[in-house]
Every structure is written in C-alpha cells, then in structure tokens.
C-alpha cells in the first residue's frame, strides 16, 4: 500500500516553494522598477536645476513672450526710444555714470569719436544715453538730446565703479536686465560701452540674418565658432522671440554663477543646449573691424571701432584714448591715395597695458 501522505506533503512543499519563488521575483521586479523611477526623478531634478528654464524651454518661451506683451514701460523711455530710433526701430545705446560724464572725460571722447569718424556723424542722432543718476542725466542733456535715467534698483553708480566689485556686478546685471526690456519693447539695439571709439559706420560690417552678434576680446577667425571669447561691451541684437527669451535666460543664469559678471556668464552658457534648441543665431565680430587694446584692429582702412579693453582705471583709459584719437586725426588728414599707400599704426596702449599687467599680477582680473 502506497504512503500517500508523503506524496501529498511533497506536493504541498512544491506548491509552497513555487509560490515563494514567484513572490520573490515580483518583489525584485518592484524594487528594480522603483529604483529606475527614482533615477528618472533624480535626473529630471538635476536637469531642471542645471538650467534657469528647466526642462520646459518651449513653455518658458511662450510665457516670456506673453509676459513681455503685457508689461508696462515708462512713457518717458518709450518717447526717447521712438525719437531716437531708425526706420527699422534700431537704436544705439550706451550707459553713463557721473565719473565717466565729467567734462573732458570718457563721454566727451566718445561723442568726439562720432564726429571724427568716417561716415559716423549721422549715428549720433540715434544714440540713446542711459544714465545711472540725476546729475549725469543733467550733464547728458546739456550735450545730447536723447538721454534717459534708468532705475538702479538699489545700486549706487555715481563714482568710478571698479571692476568685479559688488557694485560693478550689480551694475552689469542691471544693464543686462534693462537691455532685455528694450528688446521686449520691440527695438533692436547696438549696445556700446562709452570707452569705445566709433571710427566708421559699423552697420556695414554686421552680419545679415543674425539674432545676436558680439565683439570679442580675442577673435579666432571664425565668426560662428562659440569658442571665441565675447566682450559684452559691444553687441548688435535684433528684437524677436528668440532674443527676448535669450536675455531672460542670460539674466536668470546669474543665479547659477554667483560672483561672475555678465560677460563671464555668457561665456559659460553660450554652448547650452537650450540656446541651440531655440535656434538663436549667434555671430562673433572680427577684431579686424571691431578691435581694442586686447587685440587691435591694425588696418586703419578697415577699422570700425576701437575699445579700451584690457585696461584698468578711468584715467588710463582717457589718456590712451586721447592718443588713439590723435592717431586717427592724422590718418583722416591724409589724402585718399596716402591712406591706401601708408600703413599707420596705433601709438597705444601705453598706460593701459601697464595697468592691465599690474591688475593681473594682483589677481584683480583673469
């Protein structure tokens, strides 16, 4: 007679073992699933915090464009821009504080360059001077007709603002924010630092069908190469949804790079995938036309602007820019044949080079 109890017990053991194995597999599947879900959430969080606009660029784009249409702007600013603009709603903008507005200082040299330049005189009619204080506004209105005092939002920029100090950083970011609002108002602009001498009409050298074009401290020969190092002191920007978005993106990126100025932050974000996804067209301007003390425009027959960059201190800038304008006057006094046959060179920088090297030694600049 068979022992059926043993057979039954084995069947029960097999059934119990199979059930336990199934439960174990299900638990492992759930654990793996939860782990992968956690990784996905972590990745989304990191991606989101790595970008001022997170993982929804298209959404942020539409929100920004919508908010810009609803924003209210100072009627005085609207009036100044309207009076100064070209037919295509383009204005030239510079910013000015009390230290740079003193008679015989930077602002006078800037205006003088527009009068001495080759075909630049008409451009002063489209120049809007943004001042940081009431005293500078009053001085501006004595010598120029398109002046506007911007709200500083807590900053004090009346005296000389030294490079990379907290006041300097606040001023640079306030300027970036303000320029973004100009785009929202529908105006294209050429922004120029006041320590840039305008020697020829730059519009003839700007690229067509480009959203954002900017000068360089050092140009590598390829205007489309993002490895060029930009200089925020001179740029030509078209007003459209891409540039309005970009200026918001740029301004908000300051929170992710504390202690950096707008130029260094731009250098950090210029290759961000969101910028290429937004199809923002960026070009870098050649120093052969848009030169400076860092990398001079050597051909007097081509140069459009010269910037007192790679220079520290207003007195040094003023000294060397005066020498530069004397060089330019001598060139302009030549006949057309002499201009083509001669090969003049700049006498500068002198004090600027020394000041820059000393500042580098003291780790005040990179």
- pLDDT on residue 167: 82
- Are 276 and 242 in contact, with CB atoms under 8 Å apart? no
Smallest Cα–Cα separation from 150: which of 142, 160, 140? 140
pTM of the model: 0.81
Q: How far apart, in whole angstroms, are the C-alpha atoms of residue 154 and residue 259?
A: 18
Number of other CB atoms surrounding residue 363 within 10 Å:
7
Strands 229-237 and 188-192: antiparallel
Would you give per-residue pLDDT tens digits along the chain (366 residues)?
Answer: 444 444 444 444 444 445 555 555 566 656 656 666 555 545 444 444 444 444 334 434 444 444 444 467 899 999 999 999 999 999 999 999 999 999 999 999 999 999 999 999 999 999 999 999 999 999 999 999 999 999 887 766 666 776 778 888 998 999 999 999 999 999 999 999 999 999 999 999 999 999 999 999 999 999 999 999 999 999 999 999 999 999 999 999 999 999 999 999 999 999 999 999 999 999 999 999 999 999 999 999 999 999 999 998 999 999 999 999 999 999 999 999 999 999 999 998 878 988 888 877 766 565
Q: How far apart, in whole angstroms, are the C-alpha atoms of residue 128 and residue 179?
A: 12
Ordered by where they begin, the domains of the chain are 73-365 (3.90.550.10)
**Paired tokens of 360:** 């580098």
- pLDDT on residue 35: 63
Host H or E run for residue 96: strand 90-96
DSSP bridge partners of 196 = 307
**Paired tokens of 357:** 């090297």
Residue 283, burial from CB neighbour count under 10 angstroms (0-12, 13-18, 19+):
buried
- Are 92 and 126 in contact, with CB atoms under 8 Å apart? yes
Residue 308, burial from CB neighbour count under 10 angstroms (0-12, 13-18, 19+):
buried
Q: Where are the beta strands (DSSP E) in 238-329?
A: 282-284, 290-292, 305-307
- pLDDT on residue 26: 60
DSSP helix/strand/coil, 28: helix
Q: How far apart, in whole angstroms, are the C-alpha atoms of residue 27 and residue 345?
A: 79
Torsion on CA atoms 230, 233, 239, 243, rounded to nearest 10: 40
- pLDDT on residue 261: 93
Q: How far apart, in whole angstroms, are the C-alpha atoms of residue 241 and residue 64?
A: 9
């Amino acid at each position: 007679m068979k022992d059926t109890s043993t057979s039954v017990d084995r069947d029960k053991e097999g059934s119990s073992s199979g059930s336990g194995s199934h439960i174990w597999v299900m638990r492992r599947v759930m654990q793996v699933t939860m782990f992968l879900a956690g990784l996905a959430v972590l990745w989304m969080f990191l991606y989101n915090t790595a970008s001022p606009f997170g993982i929804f660029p298209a959404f942020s784009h539409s929100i920004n464009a919508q908010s810009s249409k609803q924003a209210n702007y100072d009627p005085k600013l609207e009036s100044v821009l309207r009076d100064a603009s070209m037919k295509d709603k383009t204005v030239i903008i510079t910013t000015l504080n009390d230290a740079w507005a003193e008679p015989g200082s930077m602002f006078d040299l800037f205006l003088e360059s527009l009068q001495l330049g080759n075909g630049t005189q008409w451009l002063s009619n489209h120049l809007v001077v943004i001042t940081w204080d009431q005293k500078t506004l009053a001085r501006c209105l004595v010598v120029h007709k398109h002046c506007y005092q911007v709200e500083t939002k807590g900053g004090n920029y009346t005296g000389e603002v030294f490079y990379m100090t907290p006041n300097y950083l606040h001023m640079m970011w306030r300027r970036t924010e303000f320029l973004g609002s100009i785009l929202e108002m529908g105006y294209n602009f050429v922004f120029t630092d006041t320590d840039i001498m305008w020697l020829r009409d730059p519009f003839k050298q700007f690229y067509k069908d480009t959203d954002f074009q900017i000068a360089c401290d050092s140009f590598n020969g390829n205007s489309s190469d993002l490895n060029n190092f930009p200089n925020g002191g001179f740029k030509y920007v078209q007003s459209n949804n891409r540039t309005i978005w970009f200026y918001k993106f740029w301004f908000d990126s300051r929170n992710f790079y504390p202690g950096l100025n707008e130029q260094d932050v731009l250098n950090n974000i210029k290759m961000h995938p969101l910028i290429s996804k937004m199809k923002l067209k960026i070009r870098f301007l050649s120093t052969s036309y848009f030169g400076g003390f860092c990398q001079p425009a050597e051909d007097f027959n081509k140069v459009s602007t010269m910037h007192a960059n790679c220079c520290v201190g207003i007195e040094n800038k003023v000294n060397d820019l005066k020498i530069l304008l004397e060089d330019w006057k001598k060139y302009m006094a030549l006949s057309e044949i002499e201009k083509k046959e001669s090969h003049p060179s700049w006498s500068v920088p002198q004090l600027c080079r020394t000041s820059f090297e000393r500042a580098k030694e003291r780790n005040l600049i990179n």
